[in-house]
Amino acid sequence: MKIARTIRELKTTLDSYRIDNQIIGFVPTMGALHQGHLSLVIASKSVSDITVVSIFVNPLQFNNIVDFSTYPQTIEADLSLLQEEGVDVVFLPSKEDLYPTKPVMTMNFGSLEQVLEGAFRPGHFSGVGIVVSKLLNIVKPEVAFFGQKDLQQVAVIKMLVQDLSIDVKIEVVPTMREDDGLAMSSRNLRLTSDERVSARLLYRILNFCKIELIAGNDWLQTRQDALTLIKQEPLARMEYLELVDTYTLESQSAYDATKTLSLVIACFIGEVRLIDNLPVNL
């Protein structure tokens, strides 16, 4: 497994693969890797000759300084997991290399900025758009892999690639969960043992809502019942719970079986902000 710590090193390494027309698959991450990240790696390995994983905690996408400064970093463990998984190249850029100067430009994803993560984390998607643009320009993969866990991010990346005509195929990989349903996330490492127990709430609420909707119950009433359940959990503080169009993230006031819909939730458990989503009808 090659480790490239600079853009130049990475480009030299990848150019040698390109001469042989090898298909490059790319998995961008912020590290503190878990099985969810590794499922993206496995997906990449199944369709690519060379799998590149980047690890970079992108300061530009954090709207909360505490979230950034406490973001878990487990680089040695990450590298052994990637080695075990048979990753070909790991890109570990420094902040200075990726951002020699703080970008002046910003990105706006239209209506996606107005809702959910866009509304609760101002500037977040601009930061995501800029770092993903940079990484795609540097790595130039044929395919890039993103997790369905970050549903709105997927919509943002697809818009980015379409609007800027970036020549890359975007593959979306289903959410990996712990045995009790909690979506795997690097931020789970920050939960205390009590909080870890209460974090099961997110998936429980999503499933409760899905079952109610499939049974034909009214969404607004279901949402109300779910909010009551959340209020009973003392460690939880909900930010949003919505029924949305899976592709546009547009909020729905009623269930419509002819549309592709997802339930989305963001909730603080103690000090840790967690997000999750569940497709209602595939």
Contact yes or no for 247/159 (Cβ under 8 A):
no
Secondary structure class of 57 (helix, strand, coil): coil
Contact yes or no for 278/262 (Cβ under 8 A):
yes
Of 10, 14, 37, 124, which is the active-site residue?
Answer: 37
* In the complex, least distance from residue 61 CB atom to ligand AMP, rounded to whole angstroms: 9
CA atoms within 13 A on the CB side of 24: 26
Secondary structure class of 270 (helix, strand, coil): coil
Question: According to CB under 6 A, which residues from 178 to 197 bind ligand AMP?
Answer: 183-186
Q: 37 an active-site residue?
A: yes
Instruction: Closer to ligand AMP by CB, 156 or 213: give it.
Output: 156
Question: According to CB under 6 A, which residues from 96 to 155 bind ligand AMP?
Answer: 146-147, 149-150
Cβ-based burial of 267 (10 A; exposed 0-12, middle 13-18, buried ≥19): buried
CA atoms within 13 A on the CB side of 228: 8
- Which amino acid makes up residue 235? L
* In the complex, least distance from residue 49 CB atom to ligand AMP, rounded to whole angstroms: 21
**How many chain residues bind ligand AMP (CB under 6 A)?**
17
Question: According to CB under 6 A, which residues from 6 to 65 bind ligand AMP?
Answer: 29-30, 36-37, 39-40
* In the complex, least distance from residue 154 CB atom to ligand AMP, rounded to whole angstroms: 8
List of residues contacting ligand AMP (CB under 6 A): 29-30, 36-37, 39-40, 146-147, 149-150, 173, 175-176, 183-186
The catalytic site residues sit at 37
